[in-house]
């Protein structure tokens, strides 16, 4: 059975300031690429599904 959807939490005060600082810090950090071996098959499935619905 599915759980009910709760309210979206809102950050205030110190928590909000810490979150914004973390966002600004991580904004310029470079991340390594993650391989996505199934990307091609997913793309094909999406396109096939889109063609069916037209």
For the whole model, what pTM was predicted? Answer: 0.44
Q: DSSP 3-state assignment of 12?
A: coil
pLDDT tens string 5-54 = 888 889 999 999 999 999 999 988 888 888 888 999 999 999 999 999 86
- DSSP code of residue 33: -
Question: Cα(27)–Cα(3) distance, rounded to whole angstroms?
Answer: 34
């Amino acid at each position: 059975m599915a759980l009910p959807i709760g309210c979206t939490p809102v950050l205030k005060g110190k928590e909000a300031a810490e979150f914004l600082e973390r966002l600004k810090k991580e904004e310029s950090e470079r991340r390594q690429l993650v391989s996505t071996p199934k990307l091609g098959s997913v793309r094909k499935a999406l396109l096939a599904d889109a063609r069916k619905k037209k």
